[in-house]
Amino acid sequence: MAWTLSARRLFTPFEVIDHPRVVVDGGRISKIGSARDVEAVGQVLDLGNAAIAPGFIDIHIHGGGGHDVMEDDSAALPAVETLLAQHGVTGYFPTTVTAPLDQTLRALERLGAAIESAEADVDAARVRRARPLGIHLEGPFISHARRGVHPPADLLAPRLETFQKFWQAARGKIKVMTIAPELEGATEVIAEAARRGVCVSLGHSDATLDATERGIAAGGRHATHTFNAMRPLGHRDPGILGAALMDDRLTADVIADGIHLDPMVLQLFLRAKGPERAVLITDAIAATGMPDGRYRLGSLEVDVHGCTCTSEGKLAGSVLTMDCAVRNVVELAKWDLRSAVQLATANPARVVGQKLRGRIAAGMAADIVVLNDEGIVQQTIVGGVID
């Protein structure tokens, strides 16, 4: 049954439409435009002074609501997905962390099955949860020197046969893979993953500029949590960070929580990548939405105090939510809300090849977030389902 949304403004997110109407029919957007140009159909949901925007997409998230996406608990993903929807996320990419091979394979099997189930269940949106859209494989093909908190004993050299094991376990649902391009065998794995449509993201890397360029030539096209777990920028040794900032072949993401990056560095990143190539992620862990304490990140124990997550003294993910990341771009980088929303919607959708999400336009999935003027989530609509 068709119905209509109206509000004070709409972010497509590339433009602003004042006094818009959005007609939704069968889980898709059928029409958008100003109230004077689009006739209301069916039930009308008037959002008053709010803004309509595409639902947020998080391409790097490990957990939330007390659960990790790798754990063997049927309650884990529903808890994560419920929390995500509360913060405006309608689609996400559950992200692994380096673990023993058998544990990683079991997690990939569970996540692949969950994604297939979500794809097949047209009524899944009725439970008000974000949808898993693909898996982000973070590790084990990463640098020992820039591993962060990933367990060193479980890191593996990139090998096609190992990647194939991961691919089969995940039922082909790996859509993003973080890899250090300088590792022996990395270019072959990058090329094969890219051939299969995976967004190959360069990160957790100590790569020189030459090694990074080889990774890009092989098929790398994105950078993982820029500045963090990366070879530092040197004025005679730009390395992977120089490429992440300056090479237009790479899109790149950041954790805009005010902890992983100083506000000035966030501004530098956004100025370098611009509104088309910058992406917001959360890198959120199980502690997100929970009180201070000790939580799991894969096989690791992480201590959470305030907004800081650490394991053995190193930063270990975040408790950031995507709506907060958007607001931080407005507050810390002085961007307008529409532009900040683009970094959490159209840009990640384009990076991971989600052609039916990330924009408000006819034919797109009716994944929508409702925001007030401060960017605070008022309502989240997944798959066009309202009460």
3-state secondary structure 219-235: CCCEECCCCCCECCCCC
**Mean pLDDT, to the nearest integer, of 133-150?**
97
- Report d(CA 346, CA 282) in Å as an integer: 16
Q: Please name every residue paired with 31 in a beta bridge, in sequence order, or none if there are none.
A: 23
Phi, psi of 365 (to 5 degrees): -60, 140
Do residues 153 and 123 share a domain? yes
Q: What is the pLDDT of residue 122?
A: 56
Q: What is the pLDDT of residues 252-295, one digit of tens each?
A: 999 999 999 999 999 999 999 999 999 999 999 999 999 999 99
Residue 106's CB is within 10 A of a number of other CB atoms, namely: 15
Structural domain total, the chain: 2
Cβ–Cβ under 8 Å, residues 172 and 213: no
Do residues 225 and 260 share a domain? yes
Q: What is the pLDDT of residue 348?
A: 98
Do residues 362 and 236 share a domain? no
3-class secondary structure, 179: strand
**Mean pLDDT, to the nearest integer, of 349-362?**
98
Q: What is the pLDDT of residue 127?
A: 67
Residue 357's CB is within 10 A of a number of other CB atoms, namely: 22
Do residues 72 and 199 share a domain? yes
Q: Helix crossing, 101-120 with 160-169: angle to 10°?
A: 40
C-alpha closest to that of 181 among 206, 145, 199, 156? 206
Do residues 351 and 362 share a domain? no
Do residues 49 and 144 share a domain? no
What CATH number has the domain bearing residue 109? Answer: 3.20.20.140
State the DSSP code for 159: -
pTM: 0.97
Do residues 364 and 215 share a domain? no
Do residues 26 and 69 share a domain? no
| pLDDT over 60 (residue 123) | no
- Report d(CA 213, CA 216) in Å as an integer: 5
Do residues 50 and 141 share a domain? no
The C-alpha angle 233, 231, 63, rounded to 5 degrees, equals 120
Do residues 195 and 331 share a domain? yes
Residue of 206, 253, 283, 367 with catalytic role: 283
Mode of pairing for the β-strands spanning 43-46 and 3-6? parallel
Cβ–Cβ under 8 Å, residues 97 and 70: yes
What CATH number has the domain bearing residue 40? Answer: 2.30.40.10
Do residues 69 and 50 share a domain? no
Per the annotation, the verdict on 121 as an active-site residue is no
Q: What is the pLDDT of residues 181-201, one digit of tens each?
A: 999 999 999 999 999 999 999
Report residue 1's pLDDT band, with 50, 70 and 90 as the boundaries. Answer: confident
The separation between the first and the last C-alpha atoms of the chain, rounded to the nearest angstrom, is 13
Phi, psi of 133 (to 5 degrees): -110, -15
Do residues 171 and 86 share a domain? yes
Domain with 385, as residue range(s), is 1-55+358-387
The dihedral of CA 263, 267, 272, 274: what is its sign? Answer: positive
The dihedral of CA 160, 161, 166, 168: what is its sign? Answer: positive
